[in-house]
Amino acid sequence: MKWPLFRLCIIVFVAAMVLTACGAEQSSSPQLGYKEIKSMVVDILKTDEGKKAVEEAIGGGTGGSSSSGGSMGMRMMSAQSGDQIRLAVKDTLVSEEYKKEIEKIMTDPKFAGEFAKAINSESKQLHMQLIKDPTYQKSIQDMLKSPDVMKSFLELTKTPDYRKQSMTVMQEAMENPLFRLEVMELLKTVVKDELQPKVEKKKQGEGKGQEGQGGSGGDGGSESGGGEEGGGDGGGG
């Protein structure tokens, strides 16, 4: 990696020396300063020839070997400067200017749609992994239980669009024969559970009435028997 960078430094130095020599040959022009030389070198590096020279210097070769050498040099550069790149990306992502720029970009419907499609599969996979995490589940439950979310949900259920959509879903579900069968079975169970306590209460009431009538008949027989005994005693006297 040092050799390609050394070659790059040589190229820049030679370019600066050539420019300085050309400027010295012109007696009418003043001597160039550091800023002028730097500006000229930057302009040279921006040209196609300058870019090609830089690529060859980084690649460590020329001609046919420039592409392979360039890729190797870039891999070495990426491996050595990976930490710096990650740090730079992190600083960029957390900066306020970047946040404002992202908010501005995401307002574009076309970009937002393409971005959502690009991360759709990754988002689904990440959500499927998170949904199995107890901590994530608890966070979702706490969020749904919050007063603000419940209030928002209740307000949503009162809107005409939500009710219309709910009715559409119910109608589509009722058109399904299996769903109708399940609903009928459920209704039969509910009706049976509702009627059973009433029938049991009616039977219990009839049983208590019969017991009361039987007790009254027994008491009447006892009283009539006592009266006959009293009459017999009086006659004997």
| Residue predicted with more confidence, 168 or 110 | 168
Q: What is the pLDDT, as a whole number, of residue 77?
A: 52
- CA 108 and chain centroid, separation: 21
Q: What is the pLDDT, as a whole number, of residue 235?
A: 46
Cα 223 to Cα 110: distance, rounded to the nearest angstrom: 102
Give the residue carrying structure tokens 């119910």.
Answer: 170
Average pLDDT over residues 7-25: 58
Half-sphere exposure of 228 (CA within 13 A, CB side): 6
Question: What are the start-end ranges of the H helices in the chain?
Answer: 2-25, 34-46, 48-59, 65-80, 82-94, 96-106, 109-118, 120-130, 134-145, 147-157, 160-174, 177-236
Average pLDDT over residues 150-155: 84
